Structure 1
Amino acid sequence: MSDRSALRRETDRFLLSLQFFTRIPIPARVPYSESELNQAAVYFPLIGTLIGMLCAQVYWGASMLWPVPIAILLSMVFSLLLTGCFHEDGLADCMDGMGGGWDRERILAIMQDSRLGTYGATALIGALAGKFLLLNALPPTLIIPAMILAHAVSRLNAASMMLTEAYARPDGKAKPLAVQMSPTGLLIAATLALLPFIWIELPNLFWLALLPLVALRFWFARWLRKWIGGFTGDCLGALQQLSELTFLLGVVALCRFI
């Protein structure tokens, strides 16, 4: 891989992160390794921005034909198809494990079980219903910027766990997963994810909705350390979903003051 130019190397890593988070096919020539996936992690939040923009496009097009609630629903269905329910699956597995397990080994075993339990199903239904209700509660002019920013910052919040927390399942990983990120990598990830918002007009108060995400992230990290000693891929998916909901809750609340 050393013969690749810097541009080619970073392009491959972007494509690798695109494949990791979506069902979008990438060229077979893109190399894969655990090291490459860790390096590709800086693009994870940017992929979130891209996913948000594509979902916003679907919402915008659908809103030309149907009422806002139906357009929101169609954009959510598109998101699930685009990502293959990647983070939703993590949320369900994480909540099944944390709800049904009583020690580290049992929690991790339940998370690895592909079957959907009561805790996971309840969390999944709540998350999907919550996102729909929160987006529908926004003024129509704010739905698109809120949708895009929610996808971006929620993935950035989840990616930050790879900077400070340990991976809880060091042996026998069931799925490929990036587990490490440097402070520089996180800074690059944040810059890439938030750069598009220079061109997206947002009310200044919108950015206050980021503050609850910080509290959620540190609480969630502490909770995971207590029970399983770190994070898993399912835990990152759960944090992304919870962060998306938390951000939208904040935005809806702030709309009272806009």
Structure 2
Amino acid sequence: MPERRKPPQPSTGRPRPSPGASRPRANPPGVSLCRALSKLGLCSRKQAEILVAEGRVRVAGKIVRNGSMRVDPGRDRIEVDGSRVVAERKVYLMINKPRGLVTTRDDPQDRGTVYDCLAELDLPFVSPVGRLDKASEGLLLMTNDTRFAQRLLDPASHVAKIYHVQIGALPDEAMLARLRAGATVDGELLTARSIDVLRSGTSTAWLEITVDEGRNRHIRRLLGAHDVEVLRLVRVAIGPLQLGELAKGKARHLTAEELALFQG
């Protein structure tokens, strides 16, 4: 009898892997050593890289000079300068950032930083949640809880941020319509959730602008695209948290009630 041939199989549209092709390897478990030192609240990742490069970090008793080595912060014994690194208590702070301070730990130009606002507090290492540029002021959160920070910074969370912005013009409905329509700047579409007039003077006005994205210098670039000069920019709220009466340049711990506002 003639040999039966198998009917052709329908194509899936996807190329078949070659017999010798290997599957992509999954990342090994754990996190990098530098990230572990940051998650444990000891220092920033950049500072961790320096500690590792200087040979000051041991894992399971052995000096490690590879900051990308995978470790388990909850199980592996990690030491810096002979002392074991353990997780610090979780800290959640709000700062009323003044103009003129940069949102970084160390500044190569030796400018003042937001850490100057923490000088009077006994704290483990904390990092800013997002940024405010040097010329901007107002509410800034700082914490050593990386999950809390990532949840607020995740674009999918759409956490609203409210700013009071003084502009060097008197807005009319035509200007507001243009601003509300947004602008494309350097290939990015910049929009605001809402833009409203707070009050007007003889030559300047204050706008309340709400955004739910974290693009770099978002509001300044949006207004600049419409030739609107920004004189002051103050962040007054992040999600349900209000800046309130906190004095400029001061910091305080968030209350349990304030933290609960972010749990929903």
TM-score band, normalised by the shorter chain? under 0.3
* Greater per-residue helix proportion: 1
TM-score, with normalisation over the residues of structure 1?
0.23
TM-score, with normalisation over the residues of structure 2?
0.22
